[in-house]
Amino acid sequence: MGWLIALAVLVLLSILPLGASVRYDSDGVCVRVIAGPVKITLFPRPKKRKVSRKEKQKEEQPKKKSDVAQKQESSVQTEKPDGKVQEKQKTGGSWTDFLPLVKVGLDLLNSFRRKLRVNVLELKLILAGDDPCDLAVNYGKAWAALGNLLPRLERVFVIQKRDLEVECDFTANETLVIARLDLTITLGRLLALGIVYGFRALIEFLKIKKKRKGGAVK
């Protein structure tokens, strides 16, 4: 019975959607992380409680003492006898070793095609202007642009719900946009892609390591 419960839990976790929700409107940008039914706001962050000047001074006094001690220790370790700080100069890696890693990364991005689900795609464009002729022309251009954009998105994503609108407002001073995108992928697919391409990346890392040790790389 226990293994059935464990199997059920694994199946539920494999279909758990993970992703992000991005919204833009008059309040600015709002970014949230999606983990199943839970949404956690990353931006904008909630405002922190204001700390009084006296509380700041009490907190900063022990920090200043510890910072001074750390700086003294680091100066002893990094300074040369003549007083100059020794800096380690970085050098570039081999381009031929780097290219296979780039290929693995591009294949990983390409493998996400049609595996990412757009749960919600909302775009409302409110065109501003007092000239009916100009607004009519811009209205047609806006719908043409949306008509060209949507098939390209459908080739990459599975779009579940869409809401695209173009409106005209003769009283507005500037063109306004309301947009929302909820993008998710199941945990099972994400783990599968991570295992496959993680293994490929590990092989390339081992080849580089063997090559630097002087071994023959096949």
3-state secondary structure labels for all residues of the chain: CHHHHHHHHHHHHHCCEEEEEEEEECCEEEEEEEECCEEEEEECCCCCCCCCHHHHHHHHHHHHHHHHHHHHHHHHHHECCCCCECCCCCCCCCHHHHHHHHHHHHHHHHHCCCCCEEEEEEEEEEEECCCHHHHHHHHHHHHHHHHHHHHHHHHHCEECCEEEEEEEECCCCCCEEEEEEEEEEEHHHHHHHHHHHHHHHHHHHHHHHHHHCCCCCC
Segment of 24-38, 91-105, 204-218 carrying the highest mean pLDDT: 24-38
Segment of 83-92, 106-115, 179-188 carrying the highest mean pLDDT: 179-188
Q: What is the mean pLDDT of residues 64-87?
A: 52
Q: What is the structure's pLDDT at 137?
A: 93
Q: Where are the domains of the chain?
A: 14-43+97-212
pTM of the model: 0.64
Mean pLDDT (the chain, rounded): 76
What does the pLDDT look like over 142-185, one tens digit per residue? 999 989 988 888 888 888 999 999 999 888 888 889 999 998 98
Q: What is the structure's pLDDT at 110?
A: 77
